[in-house]
Chain A
Amino acid sequence: MTGRRVRVWRCITGSVAALLLGGCVADARRVVVIDGSSSLYPLTEAVSDAFVRENPGARIVVRVSGSGGGLRRLCEDEADIAGASRPMTAAEMARCRASGRRVLAVPVARDGVAMVINPANEAVACLTLAELDRIWRPDTSVATWRDLRPALPAETLRLFGPGTDSGTFRFFTRVVVGRPGASRTDYYMTEDDHLIARGVAGDRWSLGYFGSANQAAHPDRLRMLAVDTGFGCVLPTPAAIRDGRYSPLARDLYVYVRSVLLADEDVFSFVEHFVSASELLAEETGYAPLPAAEYARSRALLSEARREALGQAAGDRDRPHAVAVEARRVPGRDPS
């Protein structure tokens, strides 16, 4: 091997080593990782985008693995913030506390569970909660649209819906079937709402459900069904979600954050921005904003939690916990 070649090799290996080493040292700004609900994803994306525009250089990463997956990762340190379309269950909370992690729930918006069909299916415009129960219950006998209503065509009903890690799935089964997690299983299940949308858009006699904000992305390829929840047939529009007419199928969406992380400037300002931006962006991304007082309360709660986290970080451990997460009552308990 000639001397020149040795020099070339030293140069290559040296620069690779420097790159790897330098990269590890130069990591100054914190990467904020958000994982969780696909129902909340359109809002998360819009909020993150606005945040990055206002704070150039901010490092935001969003993953989507369903509410259950996001909350699990939050308690395993694989995510800093979890988006959830349902409150944390008692079991999840216990597991998180067992590993010494405290989390804070911040409600950010409301949405509804939207029933969607193919635009070519003009035979049906509204379903009742009882009909939804008959379709989705585990011991269902509904295989065609005619099984549902004698007036409808005898076409096979092809179903698309979220998978078991989804908060939407647990919420829907609790409200419609009566038990969280109880559902027929012979349908196309996915945590990816885009696949549900594609499935329904490609099949004339299909029916699917997901968070109503996802429908805003393709108004002409899917048709929302009205649901008769006792107030007559109501579509899950932001107005109907806000004033409660869509109520049994409308729910609060949350972001969960690990309390200690609020001591970090980047995490805190992102969560705070999430609350403020949700108030502005919720409507245009297809959600219903919460009442203004609710946002104000979240902001107060956040800054209190930040003070506490900073106090803890400074070694002030005798101070009593100002915010007991468990004490914060979240509407729509999940009995499991």
Chain B
Amino acid sequence: MTRHKRRRDPVGAACRVAALAVLSGFLVFTAYLGFAASRGVGIDFLRGASSVAVDGTGMGPALAGTLWLLLLTAVLALPIGIGTAIYLEEYAPRTRVTAVIESVAANLAGVPSVIYGIVGLALFVRALGMGPTILAGGCTLAVLALPGVIVTSRTAIRRVPEGLRLAAYGLGATRWQVVRNQILPAAGSGIVAGCCAAFTRTAGAAAPLLVLGTATYMSFAPQTPAHPLTSLPTQIFTWATRSQEEFAALAAGAAIMLLLLLLIMNLISALVVRRLSGAAR
């Protein structure tokens, strides 16, 4: 694009301004959080349990809770979600049932997360008797992540060129061999990127977990899925709504931790995507 053309391009200029605004907005926001957190957050904050006194309180339990929730969500939602996507795209005949499954999955992706919390409370906490535990939270978040995983995985699988499939079948490959050796490697980067997006949504979800019932005070970091539910987003909520000003710093500190966690997840997914797309070519 030449210089001359760019100058006459008001839409492009507007887009550049918008991008800069987003970037600077994010920087200002992070700086504000950092400033707020710098008053009253020390090393102990990473390890300590939530407690009465502002000093000595920490987000150890909440951080451990969020890591557990991410692990459970991954273990539950990824196999089911990617499996469903492969089934719908590669195996299922185009019948009315699959059409219904498709539209349900697509519509569920837009349902507000608090609705999933109510479902989780009725189903996992009450009906299945899990109580307000990490396990119930993980199951709820897995259900929350599922539609996103299915929709993005399907999109990635659908983008695999039809010629690749036909060529493999032409060489006598079975359906599973086609999926395993052709489709998954080719669609892998798209699936990983999509799943990561679905994951970051669940990692930051506070509303569904608050509905399940989270701990206000917790003296220990959860070590098994059977332990009571706690997480970074709900801990941020608890601290942010406390009426003593000092807790605002703790909320900001936990918010930065959550941002860092999401950043690390996105970095890992970007690395995986790069490797996979390199391998496919």
> Interface of A with B (CB < 8 Å)?
1, 16, 19-20, 23-24, 26-27, 31, 33, 41-42, 44-46, 48-49, 52, 57-65, 77-78, 192-195, 197-198, 201, 217-218, 221
Contact = CB atoms under 8 A, between A and B. Distances in A.
A24 B130 CA distance: 13
A121 to B, nearest CB: 18
Contacts of A217: 243-244
B47 interface: no
Contacts of A192: 241
A200 B206 CA distance: 26
B183 interface: no
A63 B52 contact: no
B228 A33 contact: yes
A194 B241 contact: yes
Contact of B225 (A24, A33, A197): A24
Give the secondary structure class of B's interface. Answer: loop
A61 B131 CA distance: 13
Nearest to B228: A61
Nearest to A62: B217
Interface residues of B, number: 27
Contacts of A31: 227-228
B217 A61 contact: yes
B62 interface: no
A26 to B, nearest CB: 7
B132 interface: yes
Interface of B: 49, 51-53, 71, 75, 131-132, 180, 213-220, 223-228, 241-244
A61 B228 CA distance: 7
Contacts of A61: 215, 217-219, 228
Given A45-B217, A48-B217, A23 B223 contact: yes
Most buried by A among B52, B219, B223: B219
A61 to B, nearest CB: 5
Contacts of A78: 131-132, 213
Given A23-B225, A24-B226, A78-B131, A194 B216 contact: no
Nearest to B75: A16
B223 A63 contact: no
A63 B50 CA distance: 12
A62 to B, nearest CB: 4
Given A41-B216, A49-B51, A24 B224 contact: yes
Contacts of A46: 52
Contact of A64 (B49, B53, B216, B243): B216
Contacts of A65: 213
6 contacts: A16-B71, A20-B225, A23-B226, A41-B216, A61-B215, A221-B243
Nearest to B224: A23
A48 B213 CA distance: 19
Contact of B243 (A24, A77, A197): A197
A146 to B, nearest CB: 29
